[in-house]
Every structure is written in structure tokens, then in C-alpha cells.
Chains A and B, each alone.
Chain A
């Protein structure tokens, strides 16, 4: 099994902040990595795929980077609608997720 370790588990931030979430894979996943946003009562939303490709319709303040086993999601200029929980997911071998990062109001 490929394990995904995501950090931090909780992140306190203010509107306008730049926030970074990290995800580490237990082995190389050939950049087959996605990031999702979850909000209560809403359908999860795909933000980034193939480590750094921005999904259509997603604001450009979301950027993904990294390769091999280390990946990051950065939100540049946090907006009120960005307070949510974020998950990384590898899809090199089956699909496994990180434990999630809750971005909360500071």
C-alpha cells in the first residue's frame, strides 16, 4: 500500500494569507497526485491533478507543486470561501488519501 502523510492536520489562517499544505508519499507516485477541497454538505471538489495541473474553473490562487514523493498545495491570498478541509490523493496504485488538513479561521 502507498501511504500518504499530510501535514499539518489543522491550519489557522486569516483572509489574505498564503497557506501551504504538504503531502508525502511512502514511495514514488510519478506525479499522480490530486488535491481536493471538502466542505460540509457539499460535493468534494477537484482542485489540482497530476501534481500541478489546475482543474478547469478553479481559481489561480491554488497551485500544486512537487515531484517524486513530496508535494505541496499553496493557496495564495486566502479567500473566505477557502476555509475548508483539503485532501491529497495518490492514484499511481489504486487510490489513497492523506488524512486531511482543516483550514480554519485564525
Chain B
């Protein structure tokens, strides 16, 4: 049974870089598209970007200038980097697997990241 688990610091200071990793267990990261999504307090879900196992990426235009997603197939992991964070980036961050490049068929439980000094 494939499972996804997000990991990383729960607290990041303003203007610094948020870094999270999603570890895929029980299956291979190969041949799939993988996304990061977030849910800010009191707000809806927001797609951040995706990466194909080959390394091809696409980002939400609203975040494109600050986001980078990378993949490490040897570790079965992919990672999110979000620069110059502010309180508006406080959210629960989820990783997810796509079916083809369409719906998100499998998600992690999410990890809360708070931006505060």
C-alpha cells in the first residue's frame, strides 16, 4: 500500500526559506506526477506545483517566483522549497500523487508549517 509522508520544520522565520520533503513508501516514485498543495487557516486548498519523476516541473503562477520542487528518485522522495516566506505562507502542506496528470488520487496527512519570528 503506497503511503506519502510530509516532513520538515514546523516553524520558519519570516523572510527565510520553507523546505519540506515528501517520502513515498510502499511503491515507486517513478512514472507518476507529484504535487504540493497547501491549506492556510480559514482558507481553501491551493495547488503549489508538481514534478514528474523525470524532473519536469510546473508551478502555480501566483507562487512561481518563490517555488522550486525537486525529486530524488534514489530516495523515493520529492521536496518543496518556498523562499521569502511571510505569515501568509502559514498553512498545512500536503503532498499528493496524480493519476496521469489529472486528479490527485493519493495524499499525505499533511504537515503544519507556521511562519513566525
- Chain A contributes a number of interface residues (CB within 8 A of B) equal to 24
Q: Which residues of B contact A42 (CB under 8 A)?
A: 109
| A97 in complex: contacting residue of B46, B99, B106, B109, CB < 8 Å | B46
Residue in chain B with minimal CB distance to A99? B44
User: A34–B103 contact, CB under 8 A?
Assistant: yes
A62 on the B face (CB < 8 A):
no
Q: Is the interface of A mostly helix, strand, loop or mixed?
A: loop
| A46 in complex: contacting residue of B4, B60, B104, CB < 8 Å | B104
Q: Mark B32-75, 1 if CB is under 8 A from A, else 0.
A: 00010101000111110000000000101100000000000000
Q: Which residues of A contact B109 (CB under 8 A)?
A: 41-43
A87-B44, A94-B60, A98-B44 given as contacts; is B108 within 8 A of A43 (CB)? yes
Q: Which residues of B contact A99 (CB under 8 A)?
A: 43-44
**Tier of interface size on chain B:** 20 to 34
Q: Which residues of A contact B61 (CB under 8 A)?
A: 1
A42-B109, A43-B109, A89-B103 given as contacts; is B47 within 8 A of A95 (CB)? yes
Further 5 A-B residue pairs, CB within 8 A, beyond A42-B109, A94-B47, A97-B46: A44-B110, A46-B106, A49-B102, A91-B102, A94-B60
Chain A interface residues toward B at CB < 8 A: 1, 32, 34, 36, 38, 41-46, 49-50, 55, 87, 89, 91, 94-100
Chain B interface residues toward A at CB < 8 A: 4, 35, 37, 39, 43-47, 58, 60-61, 94, 96, 99, 102-110
